[in-house]
Amino acid sequence: MESQAVTRRSAAKAYSDTRARAVSLIGPLAVMAGIVWAILQPYRLTLLHPYHQGFWWLVIEPPLLVAAAGVFFALVIARPLIADLESDRGAP
C-alpha cells in the first residue's frame, strides 16, 4: 500500500471522528444551555410564579424548550447521523 493512500485514509478517519464527536455534543450542550439559562434567569420560569397561568404556560417555557430540543436532537437526529458517519468511515 502506498503511504499517500494510508495518510489520506487516516486523515479522513480522524476528520470523521471529529465530525461524529461534534454532532454527538450538540444535544447535551443544548440541554446544558437550557439549564444554565433557567438558573441565570429564574424569572423566565412561570413555574415559580404561576399567577393566572394555565397548564400550557407551565409546559411551554423557553429554557425548558431549549433543553427539550437538545434531548430531541440527541435521541432522534444525532444517533442516526452518527451511525451514518461511522458507516461512511468503514467504506473504502
> In this predicted model, what pLDDT tens digit does every residue of 5-26 receive, in sequence order?
555 555 455 556 888 899 999 9
Three cell numbers at 60? 411551554
Tell me: the pLDDT tens digits for 41-91? 887 776 655 566 666 666 677 888 999 999 999 999 999 999 888 887 665
pTM score above 0.75? no
